[in-house]
Structure 1
Amino acid sequence: MAETPGGTDSPGDLINRFEGVLRELIRAVLGQDWHEGAGIDLEKLREKQEYERGRRRGVVISEDLLAFTEHLQLAKIIDKHWVRFAKILGDKKRWTVYSDRISAIRNAPMHGRQLLYFEQQLLAGMTGEIGNIVAQYRSSQGPDAAWYPVIESVTDSFGNDVTKDRRPPTRLSVGDTVRFTCVGRDPQDRALTWTLELKRKANRKVDEAIGSQVELTWVVDNQDVSERTEANITMTSGGNFHRNGFYDSTMFIAYAVSPPTGLS
């Protein structure tokens, strides 16, 4: 079977990643004032947020309105503040071509239509290039980022953002399955190894995967019962040197795990 351009990522995955990279860049450059001067209708974003909250019961919905923006809105923000983005994204004409191309390509997979092979190649290439540009920008903000990878995001299957929600309201039960979607980027383009360990009386390794975007799975067991069970996710590059000696970055999230019914 032929491999999809961009590895195993679907066109929808690539579009989501492209938009995620733009949101990350906008946050880094504009901070909390990202919506000012760009004519973004915050009330519509709040309506979208509430719609998601009602439709996706049992899932933690982001409180960050930027998370509910789409490509046209993200492009509008960048265009309105181009002076601040020019040194990062470079040539304005090239950015405009990329942005317009993404807008045209985006409609097909988002409405269930299949992209042609050359369109998939274009999408994968543009997503990778913009992602690398943003990674290089972050590298310029701190000397260590030029050598070591960074965790871009870790989200659990309930929608909790591990980078923000270190103690989410989600209570687990024995037998539950928790999946963590992990995204990282390495300025040296090395393989990234992700490890999921549970911290209780002794560390217990439960899953491992390799890639820039992976999924780690934890099936909650009796030995995980506690009012504070930490799921620790560690990322390590394939290089000889690491930011923290033996690994590059780590994040944790602590859950309360209830005992099985009828047991104490």
Structure 2
Amino acid sequence: MDISDSLKYAENSLRDLLNFILSKQFGADWFYSCGVSDKRIEQWEERKNIDEKKFGYSDPRIIYYADFYDLKTILKKCWDKGFSDVFGKWKEIEVLLNILEELRNPDAHRRDLLPYQKHLAIGISGKIRAEITEYFSNMETGESYYPRIESVQDSLGNTWAIGERNPHDTSCILRPGDQIQFNVAGTDPKGDSLEYTVLPNALPYEFEWKNNGNFDLTIQNKHVGKKLWVAIAIKSPRDFHATSVVGLGKVDDVVKFGFEVLPPR
């Protein structure tokens, strides 16, 4: 994973954590109670509307249109709402976030990151993501051994983040020949490299394991049906895994996206 991906995944993991915890505290409109100004929220909504006009869709999670310093502000102001259970001490995560904020935009300093700064960025990003993953693992299973999928996004504008309902029925209608791109982020509390795959539930099963979470899926005639479930899975290189998926065998985590596929025109 390169520096930009590492920083992006850490930042998005924070966004998903904020959305998950605060929506439970304050409901779907939690951002009006999180300590940021109405002006900042208006700016997020403007960015969301720009995406809608430009691409025809936007991320339903408005926190994805917030700046990095907004995330720090929310975390600090809502620290007692459950975030200490994730990170422990505020002072520690504050220092780490300040370092990431300094490192995430080297262009502002007209220079590339030095080698030690690159390692620092990857290390801090990995620590934050691992702590968030461990929090969700402990909440659900009492374990922190298995890797977890953090987020999935497809090119149709559908998104899923850790803690949300799974399987995820997208309500999208496709036809043979359509192409979908998937971007998958996962993390392993043990720090091992992960393998990723995407598998539509149609015989014969066709899939490949990759060392990154970027996939292209072309819809075929065999996918036609009222509901095509696409399994997005990850696994570690270790001998033992958390679950099994038909067609894939042993994996550590899986998220399913559902689509309706109509016959060819």
Alignment TM-score > 0.5, same fold? yes
CA shift, 1:169, in A, is: 4.4
Seen in structure 2, the aligned counterparts of structure 1 residues 190 and 119 have a Cα distance that, compared at 3 Å, is closer
1: CA distance between counterparts of 2:199 and 2:143? 25
SS in 2 for 1:72: helix
SS of residue paired to 1:204? coil
1:87-127 CA distance string (max 9 Å, x none): 53234333232222222223335899743433322211211
CA separation in 2, counterparts of 1:20 and 1:61?
15
Please say if residues 153 and 182 of structure 2, whose CA atoms lie closer than 8 Å, have aligned partners that are also in contact: yes
**Number of corresponding residues:** 248
Q: Is the 8 A contact 1:206 1:217 kept in 2?
A: no
Q: Does structure 2 conserve the Cα–Cα contact (< 8 Å) formed by 1:207 and 1:217?
A: no
Query: Is 1:9 the counterpart of 2:10 in the alignment?
Result: no
Task: Report the RMSD for the aligned CA atoms in angstroms.
Answer: 2.9
- For 1:224 and 1:125, how far apart are their aligned partners in 2? 41
Q: What's the CA shift string for 1:16-40, capped at 9, x where partnerless?
A: 2121121233234333435314124
Show the counterpart of 1:155: 153
Take 1:49 and 1:73, find their aligned partners in 2: how far apart are those partners?
16
Contact 2:197–2:213 under 8 Å retained in 1: no
% same residue = 24
Q: TM-score, normalised by structure 1?
A: 0.79
- Which structure 2 residues correspond to residues 249-264 of structure 1 after superposition, within 5 A? 249-261=253-265
8 Å contact 2:3–2:121 — kept in the other structure? no
> Compared with structure 1, are the counterparts of its residues 194 and 105 closer, same or farther at alpha carbon in structure 2 (3 Å cutoff)?
closer
Query: Aligned equivalents of 2:108 and 2:184: distance in 1?
Result: 22
Work out the CA distance in 2 between the residues paired with 1:19 and 1:162: 15
Consecutive unaligned residues in structure 1, runs of 5 or more: 1-7
> TM-score under structure 2 normalisation?
0.79
- Which one of 67, 70, 78 corresponds to residue 70 of structure 1? 67
Partner of 2:247: none
C-alpha separation between the residues in 1 aligned to 2:204 and 2:126? 35
Match of residue 44 from structure 1: 43
Residue 5 of structure 1 corresponds to none
What CA distance in whole angstroms lies between the structure 1 residues aligned with 2:256 and 2:198? 9
Residues 112-154 of structure 1 deviation map (CA, whole Å, 9 limit, x = unaligned):
9743433322211211111122223233323353222222111
Please say if residues 207 and 218 of structure 1, whose CA atoms lie closer than 8 Å, have aligned partners that are also in contact.
no
Query: 2:224 — aligned with what?
Result: 225
Who is 1:248 aligned against?
252
How far apart in 1 are the matches of 2:84 and 2:17?
12
**Residues 249/77 of structure 1: CA separation in 2 closer, same or farther (3 Å cut):** same
